[in-house]
Structure 1
Amino acid sequence: MTKPLTKTQLVAAVAEAMETDKKTATTAIDAIVEIITAEVAKGGAVTLPGVGKIFCRERPERMVRNPATGEQIKKEADRQVKVTIAKALKDVVNAA
């Protein structure tokens, strides 16, 4: 397994793909991240074609077990960010 792309490497790759400078690519990436964060935080979902869907899921109050002591405790309701990977990306990864 290779190391994940850093933001600097991602910016360089986007700048090259867009045939633009790194400052413009950084602004574009930051804007995309900001939009996704805002949309998911308010309970919406964002679909990135060919990549997948990022959404927020509500989890109800539930009983959980402390693995160290075995004690049952009540966990409050919360929200969890989920990502569903697109079939197109899965197919490309499995074909390699």
Structure 2
Amino acid sequence: MHYVLLSMLIGALLGGGMAVAQSSSEPAKPPYALSKFSDQFKAADKDGDGALTREEAKNANLTRVVDNFDRLDANKDGKVTREEIRALLRSRVSI
């Protein structure tokens, strides 16, 4: 149950396959939660490499990322990328 809730939360934050319908005259805007997480991710990524170290996530108070860091860090390089988070979510949702 914990994994399902974690997957739902991270999925909502990162937009794993979610889309927002808008009129064709307006550019698509991400849902608020996605935009907020994207801003938090960027702000936490102090060295601008597109990945978060455990320390960067801790300093930015991204508690769920810190708590699940080892699972999220698929290639065990000490950093978590958005793609690693999406991949974990896909694997948890796939049947």
TM bin, normalised by shorter chain, reads: under 0.3
Larger Rg: 1
Higher RCO, 1 or 2 (CA under 8 Å, sep at least 6)?
2
The structure carrying a bigger helix percent of its residues is 2
- The two structures have a TM-score, normalised by structure 2, of 0.28
- The two structures have a TM-score, normalised by structure 1, of 0.28
The structure carrying a bigger strand percent of its residues is 1
